[in-house]
Amino acid sequence: MDDIKEKTDFIRDIIKQDLQKEAGKKIHTRFPPEPNGYLHIGHAKSICLNFGLAEEFNGRCNLRFDDTNPTKEESEYVKSIKTDIKWLGFDWGNNEYYASDYFEKLYELAVLLIKKGKAFVCDLSAEEIRNYRGTLTKPGRESPYRNRTIEENLQLFKEMRDGKYPNEAKVLRAKIDMSSPNINMRDPVMYRILHKKHHRTGNKWCIYPTYDWAHGQSDSIEDITYSICTLEFEDHRPLYDWFIEQLGIPHPRQIEFARLNLTHTVMSKRMLLELVEKKYVNGWDDPRMPTISGMRRRGYSPEAIRNFCSQIGVSKADSTVDMAFLEHIIREDLNKKAPRVMGVLNPVKVIIDNYPQDKEEELEAINNPEDPCSGTRKIPFSKILYIEKEDFMENPPSKFFRLTLGREVRLRYAYFIKCVDVIKDKNGEISEIHCTYDPLTKGGDAPDGRKVKSTLHWVSAKHCIQTEARLYDKLFMKENPLKTEGSRDFKNNLNPQSLIIVNDCKLEPSLKTAKAGNIYQFERLGYFCVDCDSNDKKIIFNRTARLKDEWVKIKASIKK
């Protein structure tokens, strides 16, 4: 979709080889989220891969909700998942499926396995099953219920379905090999009893299939040709193959790839849910979250996320991508698109002593130097302005080139000003900086050719609008938040400074009409987008990214 260059990776190589062998073969992939949380950037990698392959090879990609566990799933998640995939720019057309739609079919297939003597009803408790399973070095022991007759198993399984037994009283297990070196093959559980309402099937079922039983068969039922999943399922592949071979149903090819890990965040839905439920963040779409909805609210574009997924590529080797790389991609995207404006986050008053009291001027400013078509706008100038507190120092070190007593600097798009005096309040804080301006430097250059060493951003006090800015930083302080000392929990690694709210941000008046989702570069400060919490009375800006790109530095240090 975005790429001029053809993508290559080991999965695309496999598919190309298959297509050479079998001309005209239709490729069919799927994205199978479990609706137990919001999608994150790791899911975006899988979405770009599965939907991307279908687009490139003229095939089809299903959206399948893997909704086999009624205890954790909610319709809210289904809705958010659909919104996020569409926003990323992908379309599943009519191919929206639910594993729960196959409950009847899966039940029939389970009955078929029982009839073949390949599955049995087991009365061991969950703990006993664990104890019987053995370890990597020790073979497991067979369940005492393993040799029930086919008739007895059929009868008991039907009774399980009919609700005759309480939760956990019995399970259905595959009958494979308790001494297999692969623990997944040691008579895995296929069905559990769970008297619980399901978000789609209601109270129709009180037995639910396990992921291992449902997943491969769902792929087969949908005629998936490439079942692409993350590496942790490599050890489950022999089991999926076994089921399909016993049942004699269509056989998708499973290919595993490395999941995306990112520094300074977590990607497990269980942990993300904990952050939401215990209010460490303000919901799934908090702009600090690695979720797609969080990134959208933060001001990331779908093109940038797709570009990120394309640049990190697909491989078999586990790795962790630096968050700075994602931010680098975001910045490149915003640099092209975001109009420039001036805003002051931490204001201090500047009074131009020799500027007439009531005079106002409109100065011309460039909207985006990266985009000549974006034109110019007018910004008002007057006697009293705001500049950034950090841009003035009374006793500056030698490398400080910004404003100080006696020094001349440029105000962007306006004039040269020179500081002549400062006034302090009773706490000793600077309350007013007095300057003079040179009318001949209008537009930003001196006719006599004299130079200044810095250019400051500013807004006119009389004209500016006051807003709230939310400054975001990394959610976790540690690169790997899961690395914790002793019994401490990953939440101990949360960054207490990950959100700083600034209430007194002053912005140029052109931003009065900014709408939720609009994104700007505040000159010298960073990229900011209008948050959906904004209303007619108050505009709130989220800092999407700082201007400084840390990735360039990190990349250089990696190369050394």
Residue nearest to ligand ATP (CB): 42
Choose the catalytic residue: 133, 259, 462, 524.
259
Nearest distance in Å: CB 260, Mg ion: 14
Listing from the earlier edge strand, what are the strands of the sheet with 96-98?
28-31, 60-65, 96-98
Nearest distance in Å: CB 34, Mg ion: 5
491 is annotated as an active-site residue: no
**Nearer Cβ to ligand ATP, position 236 or 269?**
269
Alpha-carbon gap, residue 60 to 92, rounded angstroms: 8
Nearest distance in Å: CB 76, ligand ATP: 15
Rg (Cα) of the chain, in Å, rounded?
31
**Nearer Cβ to ligand ATP, position 10 or 401?**
10
**Nearer Cβ to ligand ATP, position 33 or 188?**
33
Cα torsion at 90, 95, 96, 99 (round to 10°)?
A: -120
Tokens linked to 57 = 């090879």
Q: Which residues contact 249 (CB under 8 A, 6 or more apart)?
A: 109, 217, 220, 221
Contact between 15 and 27 (Cβ < 8 Å): yes
Alpha-carbon gap, residue 274 to 263, rounded angstroms: 19
**Nearer Cβ to ligand ATP, position 281 or 409?**
281
Choose the catalytic residue: 30, 186, 269, 296.
269
Regarding beta strands 347-352 and 384-388, do their DSSP bridges make them parallel or antiparallel, or are they unpaired?
antiparallel
| Contacted by 46, from Mg ion, ligand ATP, none: CB < 5 to 8 Å by type | ligand ATP
| Contacted by 268, from ligand ATP, Mg ion, none: CB < 5 to 8 Å by type | ligand ATP
From 29-37, 239-247, 347-355, 516-524, span contacting Mg ion (CB under 5 A): 29-37
At position 227, the amino acid (one-letter code) is: S
Applying CB under 5 A, what is the total number of residues that bind Mg ion? 1
Contact between 465 and 511 (Cβ < 8 Å): yes
Q: Can you list the alpha helix ranges (DSSP code H) found in 266-322? A: 269-277, 292-298, 302-312
From 28-36, 229-237, 317-325, 421-429, span contacting Mg ion (CB under 5 A): 28-36
Alpha-carbon gap, residue 146 to 157, rounded angstroms: 14
**Nearest in space to 517 (alpha carbons), one of 91, 90, 89, 87:** 87
**Nearer Cβ to Mg ion, position 34 or 322?**
34
Residue nearest to Mg ion (CB): 34
| Contacted by 42, from ligand ATP, Mg ion, none: CB < 5 to 8 Å by type | ligand ATP
Nearest distance in Å: CB 33, Mg ion: 8
Contact between 458 and 386 (Cβ < 8 Å): yes
Q: Which residues contact 429 (CB under 8 A, 6 or more apart)?
A: none
Nearest distance in Å: CB 218, Mg ion: 13
Nearest distance in Å: CB 68, ligand ATP: 11
Tokens linked to 240 = 């999926």
Contact between 466 and 511 (Cβ < 8 Å): no
306 is annotated as an active-site residue: no
Q: Which residues pair with 468 in a beta bridge?
A: 540
Choose the catalytic residue: 7, 12, 25, 34.
34
Alpha-carbon gap, residue 192 to 207, rounded angstroms: 5
**Nearer Cβ to Mg ion, position 164 or 270?**
270
| Contacted by 17, from Mg ion, ligand ATP, none: CB < 5 to 8 Å by type | none
Helix, strand, or coil (residue 80): helix
Q: Which residues pair with 434 in a beta bridge?
A: 351, 421
Q: Hey, which residues between 31 and 60 contact Mg ion (CB under 5 A)?
A: 34
**Nearest in space to 334 (alpha carbons), one of 55, 523, 527:** 527
Alpha-carbon gap, residue 216 to 224, rounded angstroms: 10
**Nearer Cβ to ligand ATP, position 34 or 74?**
34
| Contacted by 344, from ligand ATP, Mg ion, none: CB < 5 to 8 Å by type | none
| Contacted by 192, from ligand ATP, Mg ion, none: CB < 5 to 8 Å by type | none
Length of the chain (residues): 560
Nearest distance in Å: CB 296, ligand ATP: 18
**Nearer Cβ to Mg ion, position 226 or 541?**
226
Nearest distance in Å: CB 29, ligand ATP: 10
**Nearer Cβ to ligand ATP, position 41 or 540?**
41
402 is annotated as an active-site residue: no
| Contacted by 45, from ligand ATP, Mg ion, none: CB < 5 to 8 Å by type | ligand ATP
* Interface contacts to ligand ATP, rule CB under 6 A: 32-34, 42-43, 45-46, 66, 229-230, 259-260, 267-269
| Contacted by 546, from ligand ATP, Mg ion, none: CB < 5 to 8 Å by type | none
| Contacted by 534, from Mg ion, ligand ATP, none: CB < 5 to 8 Å by type | none
Nearest distance in Å: CB 230, ligand ATP: 4
Alpha-carbon gap, residue 493 to 527, rounded angstroms: 26
From the number of C-beta atoms within 10 Å of its C-beta (0-12, 13-18, 19+), residue 468 rates as middle
Which residues in this chain contact Mg ion in the complex, by CB under 5 A? 34
Q: Which residues are catalytic?
A: 34, 259, 269
